[in-house]
């Protein structure tokens, strides 16, 4: 079971400063998860960690800053860099986002050993091409191995579309091999309500990535993903051997996909479907190196940051349009009660009386629901009883 987050700020700070309890032969992997806003990066991070420490909402830009999650398994430590969705200055201004939203994903890339590019396949407007910001990010760091993760596959009714999407997003090349789509799978996908999609835990077969969990599962892999890597492309071998070229931004104008992904994963992060397969793959990609954190650390965030983020998530969820982006949070009380429970009181400041009415809701329904759901999530993060009170005031 993953460790809980400390409820005391000082205790969490001390934990982060502890010298890591290094095993005999430690291994480590730093993972940057990038993608368009709302692709499901925080949901995937929470599922990989096994405890909710990152905020999640259907609204864009729920994650405001870069935070780290830590998975310690036997002799291996995975450090997840949960980053804000890649955005541009115009959108950042519209949502009142600070400068960090534009720079944090780039900083994460600089420190990553592996990049997970997350794509929401349920969004038919964006699923067939990587966003310009994602392509720009990949082309700036072509030496860092990257993996394509197709998320929300459970929402896609026509499963055969996954093959088309995968081909578009990879330019038809994975790990230096050409993808070939099997036509038989297309027919199966139309007729079957749920084709063997849960077997698509595979990347394409015959993978050359060291330690790939799919090397021995060739038949199952072909049946599951319907993607077949054959014929070396231009003798490139693995995308790593020759190494992808550094692209200039103007080269990316007509580019839709990235032909240097080492693997493709298909999953449904919200329900945890196939997340374990991805996690096993990540553990196998770790390289020898010292741990960065003590094994009791789950996240680099302070307990107050987790609390603010989770309350903000609920405010985003239950207020319409741009209204929640104008809410300011002020922590009034954070203390331990007589029975060891955590007592939290927070004020939510809004710019207008009409916003106050919206946030409270008829008969106090909205604010009560926010407090109840946020309290449940905080109990899950801290593994203790939490009593949360929220007040709403006009600034």
- Residues 188-227 pLDDT 10s: 433 333 333 332 333 433 333 333 333 333 333 333 343 5
Q: Is 163 within a domain?
A: yes
- How far is it, in rounded angstroms, from Cα 224 to Cα 203? 9
Q: Of 262, 288, 314, which marks where a domain is finished?
A: 288
- Please check whether residues 28 and 175 belong to one and the same domain: yes
- How far is it, in rounded angstroms, from Cα 143 to Cα 115? 11
**CATH code, 26:** 3.40.50.300
Lowest-confidence segment of 5-9, 99-103, 152-156, 289-293 by average pLDDT:
99-103
Q: Is 2 within a domain?
A: no
Q: Quick one: pLDDT at residue 65? A: 58
Mean pLDDT across the chain:
80
- Please check whether residues 136 and 273 belong to one and the same domain: yes
Q: Quick one: pLDDT at residue 247? A: 55
* Tokens at 362, concatenated: 């008829």
- Please check whether residues 276 and 309 belong to one and the same domain: no
Distances (CA, A) of 153 to 65, 126, 158, 272: 27, 14, 10, 12
At 175, the pLDDT band (50, 70, 90 cuts) reads: very high
- Please check whether residues 109 and 168 belong to one and the same domain: yes
- Please check whether residues 282 and 373 belong to one and the same domain: no
- pTM for the whole thing? 0.79
Report, as an integer, the average pLDDT of 119-132: 92
* Tokens at 128, concatenated: 């067939």
Q: Is the pLDDT of residue 1 over 60?
A: yes
- Please check whether residues 162 and 78 belong to one and the same domain: yes
Specify the DSSP element, H or E, that contains 346.
strand 342-350
Count other Cβ atoms within 10 Å, centred on residue 67: 23
- Please check whether residues 260 and 384 belong to one and the same domain: no
At 282, the pLDDT band (50, 70, 90 cuts) reads: very high
Q: Is 116 within a domain?
A: yes
* 170 in Cβ contact with 244 (< 8 Å): no
Count other Cβ atoms within 10 Å, centred on residue 299: 26
Give the residue, 104 or 264, on which the prediction is more confident: 264
- Please check whether residues 274 and 376 belong to one and the same domain: no
Can you give the residue range of the structural domain that contains 14? 9-181+254-288
- Please check whether residues 387 and 310 belong to one and the same domain: yes
Which residues have C-beta within 8 Å of that of residue 190, sequence separation ≥ 6? 158, 160
- How far is it, in rounded angstroms, from Cα 269 to Cα 49? 12
At 110, the pLDDT band (50, 70, 90 cuts) reads: confident
Residues across the chain = 395
* Tokens at 393, concatenated: 């005031």
* Tokens at 302, concatenated: 């302070």
- Please check whether residues 124 and 156 belong to one and the same domain: yes
* Tokens at 178, concatenated: 């050409």
- How far is it, in rounded angstroms, from Cα 277 to Cα 265? 9
Count other Cβ atoms within 10 Å, centred on residue 83: 26
- How far is it, in rounded angstroms, from Cα 328 to Cα 355? 12
Residue with tokens 């997003």: 169
Report, as an integer, the average pLDDT of 270-290: 96
Q: Quick one: pLDDT at residue 130? A: 94
pLDDT digits (tens, 9 = 90+) for 58-103: 776 555 456 789 999 999 999 998 665 554 455 445 444 444 444 4
For the chain, what is the domain count?
Answer: 2
Q: Is the pLDDT of residue 160 over 80?
A: yes
Q: Quick one: pLDDT at residue 187? A: 42
Q: Quick one: pLDDT at residue 325? A: 82
- Please check whether residues 366 and 281 belong to one and the same domain: no
For 53, half-sphere exposure in the C-beta direction (CA atoms, 13 angstrom radius) is 32
In the sheet that holds 328-336, the strands lie side by side as 328-336, 342-350, 386-394
User: 41-55, 100-114, 171-185: which has the highest mean pLDDT?
Assistant: 41-55
Comparing C-alpha atoms, which of 274, 239, 235, 270 is closest to residue 257?
239
* 72 in Cβ contact with 295 (< 8 Å): yes
Give the residue, 237 or 131, on which the prediction is more confident: 131
Q: Is 86 within a domain?
A: yes
Burial of residue 194 (number of CB atoms within 10 Å: 0-12, 13-18, 19+): exposed
Q: Quick one: pLDDT at residue 60? A: 63
- How far is it, in rounded angstroms, from Cα 173 to Cα 259? 5
Q: Is 192 within a domain?
A: no
User: What residues pair up with 344 in beta bridges, in sequence order?
Assistant: 334, 388
User: 32-36, 148-152, 246-250: which has the highest mean pLDDT?
Assistant: 148-152
Report, as an integer, the average pLDDT of 244-248: 57
Give the residue, 281 or 39, on which the prediction is more confident: 281
Give the residue, 81 or 294, on which the prediction is more confident: 294
Share above pLDDT 70 across residues of the chain, in percent, rounded to a whole number: 73
Torsion angle in degrees (nearest 10) through CA of 377, 381, 383, 384 = -60
- Please check whether residues 64 and 98 belong to one and the same domain: yes
Lowest-confidence segment of 20-29, 201-210, 270-279 by average pLDDT:
201-210
**CATH code, 328:** 3.30.300.20
Q: Is 375 within a domain?
A: yes
Q: Is 269 within a domain?
A: yes
Q: Is 191 within a domain?
A: no
């Amino acid at each position: 079971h993953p460790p809980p987050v400390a409820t005391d700020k000082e205790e969490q700070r001390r934990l982060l400063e502890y010298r890591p309890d290094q095993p005999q032969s430690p291994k480590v992997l730093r993972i940057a998860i990038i993608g368009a806003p709302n692709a499901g990066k925080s949901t995937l991070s929470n599922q990989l960690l096994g405890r909710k420490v990152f905020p999640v909402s259907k609204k864009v830009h729920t994650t405001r800053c870069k935070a780290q999650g830590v998975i310690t398994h036997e002799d291996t430590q995975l450090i997840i860099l949960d980053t804000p969705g890649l955005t541009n200055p115009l959108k950042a201004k519209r949502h009142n986002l600070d400068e960090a939203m534009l720079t944090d994903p780039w900083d994460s890339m600089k420190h990553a050993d592996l990049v997970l590019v997350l794509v929401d396949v349920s969004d038919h407007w964006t699923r067939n091409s990587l966003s310009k910001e994602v392509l720009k990010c990949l082309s700036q760091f072509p030496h860092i191995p990257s993996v394509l993760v197709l998320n929300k596959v459970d929402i896609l009714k026509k499963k055969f579309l996954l093959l088309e999407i995968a081909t578009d997003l990879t330019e038809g090349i994975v790990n230096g091999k050409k993808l070939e789509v099997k036509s038989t799978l297309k027919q199966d996908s139309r007729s079957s309500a749920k084709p063997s999609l849960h077997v698509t835990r595979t990347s394409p077969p015959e993978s050359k990535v060291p330690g790939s969990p799919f090397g021995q599962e060739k038949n199952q892999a072909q049946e599951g993903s319907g993607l077949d890597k054959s014929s070396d492309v231009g003798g490139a071998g693995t995308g790593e051997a020759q190494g992808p070229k550094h692209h200039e931004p103007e080269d990316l104008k007509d580019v839709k996909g990235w032909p240097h992904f080492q693997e493709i994963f298909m999953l449904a992060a919200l329900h945890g479907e196939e997340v374990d397969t991805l996690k096993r793959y990540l553990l196998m990609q770790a390289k020898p190196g010292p741990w960065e954190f003590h094994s009791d650390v789950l996240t680099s965030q302070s307990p107050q940051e987790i609390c603010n983020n989770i309350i903000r998530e609920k405010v985003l969820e239950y207020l319409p349009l741009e209204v929640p982006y104008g809410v300011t949070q002020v922590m009034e009380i954070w203390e331990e009660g007589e029975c060891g429970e955590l007592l939290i009181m927070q004020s939510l400041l809004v710019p207008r009386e009409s916003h106050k009415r919206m946030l409270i809701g008829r008969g106090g329904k909205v604010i009560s629901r926010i407090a109840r759901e946020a309290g449940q999530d905080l109990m899950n993060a801290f593994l203790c009883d939490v009593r949360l009170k929220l007040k709403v005031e006009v600034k």
